[in-house]
Amino acid sequence: MMDKFPSEWQVMQIGDLFEAKAGGDYDPSNSSDVRDNRYPYPIYANGLTQQGLYGFSNYSEEPSGSITVTGRGTLGQAFYRDTPFVAIGRLIVLKPKTSINARFFCEYINYGIEFAVESTGVPQLTAPQISNYLVPVPLIPEQRAIAEVLSDVDGLLNALEALIAKKRAIKQATMQQLLTGKARLPGFSGAWETKRLGDVAHIKTGSKNNEDKDDNGQYPLYVRSAVVERINSYCFDGEAILVPGEGGIENIFHYINGRFDCHQRVYMINRFVDDVFGKLIYYIMVLQFGRHAMQNTVKATVDSLRLPTCQTFTFSIPKDVVEQRAITTVLSDMDAEIAALEQRRDKTRAIKQGMMQQLLTGRVRLVKPK
């Protein structure tokens, strides 16, 4: 059911406003993975990463000012395209038939339309199907005003995403230098030593299952996922590193210092010896453990870890615990900066959602009704 709109707004089918068509094939001989003067036109596919960017071509098939909508898998994600482009695969292109502000309708598609899955198997959306959905149609000046305001917020979000990506890259480079001894912090020059994880920490799995979680639980529950669930029990109170025993064994790592519980297929690494700084081990595992894990994985339906693989992980650290703590402080400060930016981004997204609820329904008007 659609929202109630101002009396000055029309309600029309998408097919009345746009020509809808599915993407086609592309010519690999006239395409490149890199954009340059020879290949200036983006190729968009049916994906969400980088807004579906697939590559670049030396020809274009669709005009700027169009909208693309994902038609397979994750249905109905709309992107406004401000340059000529090529659309491929199941990606749907909406090309304006008349003088309208396509940015406004792109925003409304993402906010106000819930596409029905009309096929079995992989969800799919076709051009004829999308043409039948209804959208509100304010007068052109109001379309433009709403689109400009929301576009400004998108600009801020894009800038925050770019800054977060930059900070993450800087942190990764810093880890590569500080955690391998290639660079030393000022004032430190002592020797490093090699350690085995099983010699410096206690390692065991948890005892809980997924059905033990409680969305309103008091404590974190670490499962075989990057998502941290909640629970009303805890098995340990203190510093620990958590890694899944199967699944994302090369790229999922959690650090906590407090009360928590964990799944029976999650390894809990804690009770660190006195001359090892636990959080530094966490950062070392983030950087280095994945390769070790994959080289020693137990191949089943998914990649799996066994206890000896964790115990035999070998790494080098400064002998001086003060230097260990100093390195950890540098990386923790970077994490805090990234987390603050992510929080700001999430808050901005929530603000935009609230603005969309008001502006795209006409509850708040940017142009005085005539």
Low-confidence ranges of the chain (pLDDT < 50): 1
Collect all residues with Cβ–Cβ distance below 8 Å to 245 and sequence separation of at least 6: 205, 224, 265, 266, 267, 304, 305
pLDDT tens string 262-315: 999 999 999 999 999 999 999 999 999 999 988 888 766 677 889 999 999 999
Residue keyed to tokens 């071509």:
57
The SS3 call for residue 52 is helix
In angstroms, the first-to-last Cα distance of the chain is: 27
Strand-strand pairing, 92-96 and 66-69: antiparallel
Which pLDDT value is given to residue 301? 66
For the record, the structure tokens of 320 come out as 């001086």
* Closest-CA residue to 123 (of 87, 70, 50): 70
Sign of CA dihedral 134, 357, 108, 366: positive
Which pLDDT value is given to residue 249? 86
For the record, the structure tokens of 218 come out as 């008091």
Which pLDDT value is given to residue 279? 96
pTM of the model as a whole? 0.85
CA–CA dist 127, 211 (Å, integer): 41
Which pLDDT value is given to residue 342? 97
* Closest-CA residue to 280 (of 204, 242, 332): 332
The SS3 call for residue 242 is strand
Asked if residues 203 and 311 have their Cβ atoms less than 8 Å apart, the reply is yes
